[in-house]
Each structure stands twice: as C-alpha cells, then as structure tokens.
Structure 1
Amino acid sequence: MPPAPLRPEDLPTRITRLYFRVLVPLLVGIVCWTMLTHPVSVPTLAFAGLLLLIAAAHQLLAPRWEWPLRLVATGAQVVYVLALALFGEQLGVRGNGQALSIVLLIAPMTVLAWSLLFSDHPRVGRVFSLALSLAATLLVRHWDNVNAQPEPGTAPLLLVVCLGTALFGWAVVRLQRRLLLGERDARRDPLTGLLNRRAFEEADAGPILPGVLAVLDIDHFKRVNDRHGHEAGDRVLRAVADVLLDTVAGCGEVYRWGGEEFVVCLPDTCAVGAPALLERVRREVAGRSFAAGQHVTLSIGLSRYGRGRPRRAAFASADAALRVAKDTGRDRMVAAPESPDLLPGAEAGAEEGPSPAG
C-alpha cells in the first residue's frame, strides 16, 4: 500500500525521530571514537550519557514529551559548549588538534540539524542555532589564545560557516513546507475544503478495508444557480459539505466529486449504521433553508467496496443507484442491486425516502 502523503504538521515529528535515532547516537559515537586515541574528561562522558538518556526517553515517552525533549537536548549542547569555552581547563578539556577538528565538523552539522528540528518553531531554532554558533566560535577562539600555534582565522571562519549553514537550513524548511502545503491543497477542493477526486483515486490505489460508499447529488442544483446566482450556489455547496462533515465526523471520509456531487466512504466499523447516518444527512439538508429561502434535497446511491472490490467499482454501482433515485422522484436513497442489505426491507435497487416530490 502506498505511504500516506506527508502533511506539513508531520515534518517536525519525522525530523525529531531522525535526530534522536541517528544524529545523537552519531555524536556520542564520535565521543567514543576519540576515547580510542585520547583520554576523555568526565564532564564530556557525562554530557554524552545525558544525550543518550534523552534519546532513549524520546523512544519511551509519550509524544507530548517530544517538545520538552527537543528543548533539553539542544539547550544542554549549547550550555556544554559554552562551559568548555569559559571553563575548559577546569573541566579537563584542552583544545588539541583532534578536539578542534571535531568542533569544526560537528558545529555546522548541528546548526543545520537544528534548523530542520525546529521547523515548527523557527524562532526558537534560530535562537538555539545562533547561540551554538557563538558558543562554538568563542570556544575555538579561546583555544587559539592558549594554543602554542594559534590559527587566528579559524574562529571567524567557523562563525561564517555556521551562520551560512543555518540560513541554508531555514531556506530548505520553508521550501519543504511550501511543497507540502501545495501537495495537501492539491488533494482538497478549494470551495468546500473537502477531499477531492485525486485524493479518492490515491486512496483507491492500494488495499483498503471493506466499507460502504455513497454518491450524493443535490437535486435541481441548476435552478439555484439560475435563480439566485452562482454565489448562492457556492453557499449551498459549502453548507451541504458542512452537514456531511458534521454528520460523518470521525467515521469516514467525505469527497467533493465535482459540481454538486459528493462521495462518502464509510469503513465497516460504521457500515452497519451507514443508511441511518446518510438518511440523517438527507433529512438535515432537506430541512434547511438556503439562498433566500430556497430549499434543496439530496438523492443518494449506496454500494459496498472491499474484499477484492475497489472503491472505483463501488462508485460505478452507487452512481447507477443514484440515477435510479433521480428517476424515481429524487430526495431519496437507493441501494445498488448487489448491496440490497444496505436498505433492510427494500428490494434490490429499490429506494428509501419520501414520496416523489418532483
């Protein structure tokens, strides 16, 4: 089954997962690698252990802890680097060539990671990225001052690289969010906010759970446009969409198929009550007043999908049942011949609804 489309609100969670599962262990691994050639101070080991503990907590705790863990992990790294810059000798950390190489490698990489990590709170990300850039620059400058062979241009160069990396990361995040928003909008009907036909086709591309599909059409909708104008027609479409969303909320998916036609997909968990739910929609719409007192009604066709029968096939059957509902008086619900059980007591292809109203 194809993966679900990535939503903009999903991006921070995925990046956070990548950060704690990959980048934090990589950082700790670099610390462990240095232990093979140089002694590592106790504060550095404690810092590495703290990062691993935070990464483990991210795996074990509920999602609501994700934001505090992000703050703790990033804040701890800024504090540690700043402490090395101010009290490195007291902490037993000296700026040898290997330590300098590690800082020059890790600082820009971390700044880039934080630009992505705080894509949902960019101002917080900028503060942490700037703080780490300044702390790392201060650390390298301090090491230059105490080194027998200083490299005076290293600290300014590191600051420029970190800030440039941060700007690049922020630009990537903005571009990614725009792409995701555009992709999400491509699956939505701009007038009603409902899912559109493209979203329906994508959902039908892979295995799906069995359920009930309904095709709904607003009766005599052209009259609304002709008598009251297209703006009034748009208000009717939005109002019907609101009724569908309010009634089907948490139970299924609602699509605007095109024009005045809608599609509702209800999984098996709601399929037993599907006819009653859709009848409630029909009655609610019929009882409302639209466009200067104009009343509209719905005709509905029902069918089943799943167990080897795609939604597309169910749509064709439900659409045929909808035409029967139209031909027999409108403002009614008709089940497809292969799904007579959807309307108990009715014959296959027969309707359920009021007397023909014209």
Structure 2
Amino acid sequence: MEKVLEVKNLHVSFKTYGGEVKAVRGVTFDLYKGETLAIVGESGCGKSVSAQSIMRLIPNPPGKIKHGSILFKGMDLTAVKEPQMRNIRGADISMIFQDPMTALNPTISIGEQIIEGVLQHKQVTRQEAKKTALEMLDLVGIPNPVERLKHYPHQFSGGMRQRIVIAMALVCQPEVLIADEPTTALDVTIQAQILDLFKEIQSKTGVSIILITHDLGVVAQVADRVVVMYAGKIVEAGSRREIFYNPQHPYTKGLLNSVPRLDIEETELVPIGGSPPDLFSPPTGCPFTARCAYAMEVCDRKYPFKTRLSQEHHVDCWLQDERAIKMLASIK
C-alpha cells in the first residue's frame, strides 16, 4: 500500500511557568492511502497534540516540535515555511476539530465559510466555488443545500453542524483528513450517522483518515489500524482485529475492560486505577508502571524494547521479554 504520511520520532513540548511539559515523546506511525488509522488513549496522552503537529497548529510559544519529522509528499512538514504550510492546510491535509460550534464562525453564513476555502486553494470563480459547496453539502447529507447555504451555524442542530464542518474539511478534496473526536458531543443516533458518513465519503473520495478518539466503540466500527497512546508514547499498535482480540499491553487491556459489554450479562466495568504520570518529569521506565498489576522492577528503571508480534502489531512492554514469559508460565 502507498504511504501518504510518515511521522517519525516526533517530540513536542510546551514551556510553562511550572516547567517543560513533554506532551509527545517519540511518536512514530505511518498512514496509508484510503485507510482509517485510529489513535486512542485517555485525555492528556498526546493524541490531539500529535494531530495538531501534523497540521503545524501548535502555538509557538509555548509549544515546540523539538525533534522528529512529518513526511508528506516528500516534504518534511516540520521544516516547511508558514506560507507554504497555509497552502497545504485545507487543500492537502484537513482537520475536523472537536467542537463544531467553535469551529464555525457564528457571524458568517455556512455558505460563505465553505466557499472561502475553495477560493483560497482553487483557481476558480465564485460561481464555481458555490457549485462545489452545494455538491459538498449534498454529499454530507444536508437537505435542501441551496437554501441551507444561506443559513448561519445557530440555525443547525449539533449533528448538522458536524456535517457542515466535515464538508468544510473535504471541500478541497484533501488526501488526509484528521478527525479529532468528531462524535464526542453527539448522541448515539447522530454518532452512528456521522460514522456511516465517514465510510461513505472514504469510499467515494479515497481520503486517508486519522481518527482521534477515546471511544473504542467508534474505533471498532471504522478503523483499519489502531495506535494506542499513553503518556506521550505509542505503547501498542496493530490492526483493529489484533488490538481488540489480542491486546498485549496492560494499558490496552485496561481500556478494553473499561468499556461496557452488551454480549455478556451482569458484567462490571473495571476502571484503571491510579493517575497518569507527570509529564513535567516523565518516568525513565514504562510510564504505566505505577498503574500496572504486572509491573516488575525493570519496568520502573528502563523503557521496554519494541516487540513486533506481526507485520502490523507491535507493543512496548517488558512482559514480552522471554524471561517474563517463562516466569509467568511457571506461576500458572
């Protein structure tokens, strides 16, 4: 498969009055053409910061990409000048932000907001841009697009606003779409409609999607591959089937155990005890050690090596070490 995006050893930090917050620490992943890659993890694990780094939306100061590369079409986006980056945003890489109400300008009609992006990136007339906007509204399922183009954000429901934000992100036919918690504020019925919309759009346009979420139910429906982040690091990654049916990192197992199950009667949710580590001074070993029921002495001292379990599935955990496997086998 063709690689569309390569993120290599990405480090992002924020300088604050209390010190330097090391929000992303050595993140590496690839995105392939036409696939949906889900990045999951609890709040504060570095999901959104990683995505905003791809778009070069990290405010500097206080934030800074300290190390690593983000390769797109042979260009390292970390080294691209801002004028060139403005041409890439929206045209080649687009982003759907968490709250559609804050992503839309309440004082401008949605038609003007969609048309603006087309005029910015395409050499077309205003009439052609309006035609494109109407086609996009129709694609995302907005009824009566000719009239709705004149309306303002407050005249739409939450689900409709989310569809409009998706239309704005896709109107210039980008190769990469980053969706940051696109269904968080929606009820389950509208959420299902939005997820179906993603599948439909992807089948029609071939866009590659990075889906950022903490909702594993959403991941199960749309993702091809899954990246699990914790404390600024990727602790496990693999295909959807591998992550859901053969999780290897204790944190991944904890996330799955904390999700309600409808196929098993009278099951209790199992929360992950404790709190994430302080990223002002991240631990030298595995960041999940303090919350892990299987933690060993080595976990606190040294970060584990990456263990590759298949072509796509890899995990950073000392439990994959041969000595740990033998010890656990002897206990059983």
TM-score, normalised by the number of residues in structure 1: 0.26
Q: As a proportion of its length, which structure holds more strand? A: 2
Q: As a proportion of its length, which structure holds more helix? A: 1
Higher-Rg structure is 1
TM-score, normalised by the number of residues in structure 2: 0.27
